[in-house]
Amino acid sequence: MGYGEEQMRDLSATIDQTDCDGVIVATPIDLARVIDISKPHTRVDYSLQEIGHPDIEDVLKGLITKIK
């Protein structure tokens, strides 16, 4: 899943217009490589450990059942 050129320009403009001290970039890609981020920014990564139910598998199974 990606962004089109117009969406990337809009995202860059939104960040530029936001009154903030910094931007946390938590996307799967290095966003600063594809758009201009004029604010101080830091790229972070994370992991997810599902605990309990419903989990992502339960949710997707439910959606797939509804689609069929």
Residue range 18-57, pLDDT digits in tens: 999 999 999 888 899 999 999 999 999 988 888 999 988 8
On whether the CB atoms of residues 61 and 54 are closer than 8 A, the answer is no
Question: Is the whole model's pTM more than 0.85, yes or no?
Answer: no
> Residue type for 59, please?
V
Domain borders along the chain are: 5-67
Query: Using one digit for the tens of pLDDT, what is the confidence trace for 1-18?
Result: 467 899 999 999 999 999
